[in-house]
């Protein structure tokens, strides 16, 4: 998921107790764009928690930071696998960092379901943001990098991130969740920013915070 304000992650923030160290040393890969078939189908489940998965996740982390994102799914670097990474603040500014394989999303229902109609953007449709109403709280369960059971929950931008990245792994992009008028606005913004995002972006971009995952985030 794209960061609406390009200020990059920071060491000088509180970090959630559930955060994990993100693998470092990965290679920045080109961002796969909407329209590529891998972006619009259900991802294959993760079944092997091995060095190959760790290497992939390290590349995802490097690519997320180079693109100044707050989350990234494997399909966004062209890999058909149900895993996403994130480094995202919640509504209180607390940083959350983690890895989720085979996510299952849980959202509030009934009177507990309150919508946040804030703006949303996607690294695979760069430079464009529009309002996208989503529940203001989300919980995701799944497996971590070693296959152990994990569960994360949060509010604000972090809740939006958990929903956005899980959507990717089920073949949904956030444009699927907005009306035609908002979709047209989103497309116009993307087209206006296209020159800033060549097809190999963010390859060649220095990650603003290459060591973030080593600081308990």
Joined tokens for residue 144:
């971590």
Alpha carbons 6 and 67: distance in angstroms, whole number: 9
Alpha carbons 96 and 169: distance in angstroms, whole number: 20
Alpha carbon distances (Å) from 196 to 75, 125, 126: 22, 12, 9
Contact call for residues 103 and 169 (beta carbons, < 8 A): yes
Q: Which residues are catalytic?
A: 165
- Using the 8-state DSSP alphabet, how is residue 69 labeled? B
Joined tokens for residue 61:
């982390």
Cβ contacts of residue 37 below 8 Å, gap of 6+? none
Picking from 177, 149, 150, the residue whose alpha carbon sits closest to that of residue 163 is: 177
- Using the 8-state DSSP alphabet, how is residue 12 labeled? S
Residues linked to residue 174 through DSSP beta bridges, in sequence order: none
């Amino acid at each position: 998921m794209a960061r609406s304000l390009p200020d990059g992650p920071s060491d000088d923030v509180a970090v959630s107790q559930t955060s994990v160290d993100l693998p470092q040393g990965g290679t920045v890969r080109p961002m796969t764009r909407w329209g590529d078939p891998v972006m619009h189908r259900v991802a294959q489940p993760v079944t092997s928690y091995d060095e190959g998965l760790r290497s992939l996740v390290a590349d995802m982390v490097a690519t997320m930071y180079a693109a100044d994102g707050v989350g990234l799914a494997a399909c966004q670097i062209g890999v058909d696998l149900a895993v996403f990474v994130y480094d995202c603040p919640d509504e209180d500014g607390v940083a959350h960092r983690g890895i989720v394989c085979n996510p299952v999303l849980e959202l509030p229902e009934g009177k507990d379901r309150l919508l946040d109609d804030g703006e949303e953007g996607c690294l695979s449709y760069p430079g464009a943001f529009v309002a996208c109403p989503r529940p203001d709280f989300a919980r995701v369960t799944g497996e971590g990098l070693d296959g152990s059971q994990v569960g994360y929950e949060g509010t604000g931008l972090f809740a939006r991130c958990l929903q956005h990245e899980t959507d990717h792994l089920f073949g949904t992009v956030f444009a699927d969740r907005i009306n035609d008028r908002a979709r047209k606005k989103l497309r116009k913004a993307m087209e206006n920013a296209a020159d800033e995002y060549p097809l190999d972006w963010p390859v060649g971009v220095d990650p603003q915070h290459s060591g973030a995952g080593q600081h308990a985030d």
